[in-house]
Chains A and B, each alone.
Chain A
Amino acid sequence: GDSVTQMEGPVTLSEEAFLTINCTYTATGYPSLFWYVQYPGEGLQLLLKATKADDKGSNKGFEATYRKETTSFHLEKGSVQVSDSAVYFCALTNQAGTALIFGKGTTLSVSS
């Protein structure tokens, strides 16, 4: 079945460091891909999305490119801030479009 695999965390970085969180997927058809962020004690917020191959999603300095050939959607940011500390989830839509399938999440901790 459809699935998402994210790199294990936690990821610990200093402020202004470069961030990469790896995400690969297995899916039938052509899913949409998403990155969601969850701050402590809160629900999920959509960070960015891509709906077809080679699309690049971007928001708040974060970017991810839909790579069909490598079935990947890695999240990157050139310079992280303390306020970026959160749990990041990679997700895809199932073939019916009725559900999001999430990875296990990657915890990012940024120190000043």
Chain B
Amino acid sequence: DAGVTQSPTHLIKTRGQHVTLRCSPISGHKSVSWYQQVLGQGPQFIFQYYEKEERGRGNFPDRFSARQFPNYSSELNVNALLLGDSALYLCASSQQSGTHNEQFFGPGTRLTVL
């Protein structure tokens, strides 16, 4: 079975632009989470979606938004990009939401903001 897939692999944008990142979960998984990993740091939680509803939100500004589609894939949108948004964006899927549900990570999208 395919793992979590993300697209694109790499992306270069300039300040003020908008970006959309995409994620397809493992087949049968209904929950998708997004994390931002700045170089040299651990991942920081951005959002979790389960059954197309937002279940959790991290401490990120409103420029960040996400949604989940009926096929459980997800998009992360970032508006008005700042230099500080440069990071590896990781998507993770799990069968359900909840404490003991193991999250499986994709390879990430490397976003560079110039």
Contacts and interface: CB of A to CB of B under 8 A. Distances in A.
A44 B97 contact: no
Interface string B92-114: 10000111111111111000000
A89 interface: yes
Nearest to B3: A43
Contact of A99 (B4, B56, B90, B108): B56
21 contacts: A32-B99, A32-B100, A43-B4, A44-B92, A44-B105, A46-B103, A89-B42, A94-B56, A97-B97, A97-B99, A98-B48, A98-B56, A99-B33, A99-B45, A99-B48, A99-B56, A100-B35, A100-B45, A100-B103, A102-B44, A105-B40
Interface of B: 4, 33, 35, 40-45, 48, 55-56, 58, 90, 92, 97-108
Interface of A: 4, 31-32, 36, 42-46, 49, 51, 89, 91, 93-94, 96-105
